[in-house]
């Protein structure tokens, strides 16, 4: 029994240490902060939290707006390398805000999703918009399953 309890405590300790630790903006390299400032004003919001992940990337997370049901309307997450190179920005839209989803998802992607759904529901649940140096992708529900499209509404595997 003691061995089991000790094993659980060790695993819990490892899990706590493995989590990304929140860091103050003053502890983030100036190149990373400058890259954030250049990238998007939305990332400068009050309440934004910096963390550093296991890969050494600086990650900034911020909630925008207030959902009518729970949490923020949007969760923005941006990742940067230590030298200030922007890696990606992910925007997860609230599952219940249809107006926001229709505004943020381009019409060509909505049309492609409609076609793929073949009369089934579209954009049910959350929508994830990811932007990288290679371009933008939209992950959303189209009929029975989640599908990812690029900015030209081409399905991405």
- pLDDT > 80? residue 16: no
pTM (predicted TM-score): 0.80
In a domain, 66, yes or no: yes
In a domain, 61, yes or no: yes
Q: Band the pLDDT of 9: cuts 50, 70, 90.
A: very low
Give the whole-angstrom CA distance, residue 6 versus residue 107: 55
**Better-predicted residue by pLDDT, 72 or 131:** 131
Token pair for 21:
């630790």
> CATH code at 70?
3.10.450
Token pair for 153:
């509404």
Q: Which residues contact 94 (CB under 8 A, 6 or more apart)?
A: 65, 67, 69, 71, 72, 73, 74, 100, 126
Question: Residues 105, 79: one domain?
Answer: no
Q: How many domains does the chain have?
A: 2
For residue 40, what are the domain limits? 21-87
In a domain, 12, yes or no: no
pLDDT in tens, 41-85: 778 888 889 999 999 999 999 998 876 667 788 899 999 999 999
């Amino acid at each position: 029994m003691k061995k089991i309890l000790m094993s659980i405590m060790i695993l819990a300790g490892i899990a706590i240490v493995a989590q990304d630790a929140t860091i103050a903006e003053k502890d983030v390299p100036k190149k990373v902060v400058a890259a954030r400032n250049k990238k998007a004003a939305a990332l400068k919001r009050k309440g934004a939290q910096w963390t550093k992940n296991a890969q050494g990337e600086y990650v900034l997370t911020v909630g925008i707006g207030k959902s009518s049901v729970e949490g923020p309307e949007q969760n923005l997450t941006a990742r940067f390398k230590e030298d200030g190179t922007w890696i990606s920005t992910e925007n997860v839209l609230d599952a219940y805000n249809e107006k926001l989803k229709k505004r943020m998802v381009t019409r060509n992607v909505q049309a492609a999703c409609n076609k793929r759904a073949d009369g089934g529901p579209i954009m049910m649940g959350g929508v994830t918009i990811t932007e990288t140096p290679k371009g933008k992708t939209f992950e959303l529900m189209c009929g029975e399953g989640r599908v990812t499209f690029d900015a030209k509404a081409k399905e991405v595997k």
